[in-house]
Amino acid sequence: MDVILLQRIEKLGQMGQVVKVKPGFARNYLLPQKKALRATDANRARFEKQRAQLEAINLSRREEAQKISGKVDGLTVVIIRQAGETGHLYGSVSPRDVAAAATAGGVTIERSQVLMDRPIKMLGLHPVRVALHPEVIVTITANVAKSEEEAEIQKKAGGFVPPTTEEQPSLDEVLAEADEAAADEAEPAEAEPKAEEAAEAKPKKKAKVEKEAKVEKEAKAEKEPKAEKPKREKKAKGKKADDDE
């Protein structure tokens, strides 16, 4: 179906252009929202007659949208939803939910102004585009959380924070473990000189033992002849007595 655009439509065309669209899109969205006219000869003539007036209205609306864009751009809205441990929502967040949250926060936004390709189905921070005017589009953030407290945590963390079963160590505990590890690494270095001293002392001890053994052996050797001499003399006297007999 051919239609005449009465305003700029993203990814479709500018005001006054004749474009071809699907019949369902034209009947369900463009025509009811007065964003386009059927491209008949009568409507073409009507548009050309009112073009100057339509362009003036469009310019005024664009300037108004630009004035409030600074207030809306970067806005964060909190949306509370039930979800599982992995962050999957029990349901979803639609453009209507985002518009309602923004309006509750003090900025009036229509559902039709929220540009979302698909519903939000996860906890976390989600950028959402908002068309204040067909030519003025800003981005707000939908902070989808299970509670206000978790929304604040997500805002500081920059996204969804999965629950942890183990308690995270504190900074003091981490520093204490680091000091202990450093001390353990330093112990072998301190023990090395002791090992070297033991290695040096071992040959000295061995030499001392050998020296003592040698002295003892020499002393024993000196005693042995004195002990054997009387025995030899006794044997000699005994032999002489036998000879005399």
- pLDDT tens digits, one per residue of 36-85: 999 999 999 999 999 999 999 999 999 999 999 998 999 999 999 999 99
Q: Is the pLDDT of residue 15 over 80?
A: yes
The whole-model pTM stands at: 0.61
Distance CA 111, CA 95 (A): 6
Q: How far is CA 36 from CA 2, 50, 55, 85, 101, in A?
A: 10, 13, 14, 46, 29
Distance CA 141, CA 74 (A): 7
Lowest mean pLDDT among 28-42, 68-82, 116-130, 221-235: 221-235
> Domains of the chain by range and CATH?
2-69 (3.40.5.10), 76-157 (3.10.430.100)
Work out the pLDDT band at 210, boundaries 50, 70, 90: confident
Q: Nearest-CA neighbor of 154 among 119, 126, 133, 191?
A: 126
Q: What percent of the chain has pLDDT over 90?
A: 60
Higher-confidence residue of 61 and 221: namely: 61
Is the Cβ–Cβ distance between 140 and 77 less than 8 Å? yes
pLDDT by residue (tens digit) across 166-192? 555 666 676 777 777 777 766 554 445
Q: Nearest-CA neighbor of 123 among 96, 100, 75, 157?
A: 157
- Segment 132-155 shows an average pLDDT of 95
pLDDT at 182: 75
pLDDT at 235: 52
